[in-house]
Amino acid sequence: MIVRRFYEELGLLLYAVCMSDGEIQAKEKRVIDRTIDQFLSQYPDFEKYGHVKNLLLTKIHFYHAIDNHIKPSAARNSFLVFVKKYRNNLDGESRKIARLLLQKVASAYGGVSAEESQLLKLLED
């Protein structure tokens, strides 16, 4: 249940990162969609692999945050509270996938900011 929730929170974090400049860029959405789709295509039976299957939750929560105009600060804080509480319960594969997604999204528009670098450090092993 913790891993599933992590991927849900990751969707909120990606939303907050994309909104850091005040709006979500089309390129950022494409990066999220393509990266998740690439993971899914690498695992034809992805439903057998929890960390890959849960990426669908990341995508759903990302678009849910957009559709519901969630405050970026609330989305970011939700992720931070969760990770600080459950950091030791997260497997390395999930953190690796999250780092990759966050790095790609942060780099998609304007480069990685200092705040984004701090978030990436939270996901280190």
Write out the chain's pLDDT in tens, 125 residues.
899 999 999 999 999 998 887 889 999 999 999 999 998 888 777 667 667 789 999 999 999 999 999 999 999 999 999 999 998 898 888 888 898 998 899 888 877 677 777 766 766 65
Q: Is the pTM of this model over 0.85?
A: yes
SS3 readout for the chain: CHHHHHHHHHHHHHHHHHHHHCCCCHHHHHHHHHHHHHHHHHCCCHHHCHHHHCHHHHHHHHHHHHHCCCCHHHHHHHHHHHHHHHHHHCCHHHHHHHHHHHHHHHHHCCCCCHHHHHHHHHCCC
Domain extent for 112? 2-122
Kindly give, in sequence order, each residue whose CB lies less than 8 Å from that of residue 38, ignoring residues fewer than 6 positions away. Answer: none
| Structural domains of the chain, count | 1
pLDDT of residue 36: 94
pLDDT for the residue numbered 26: 94
pLDDT at 46: 65
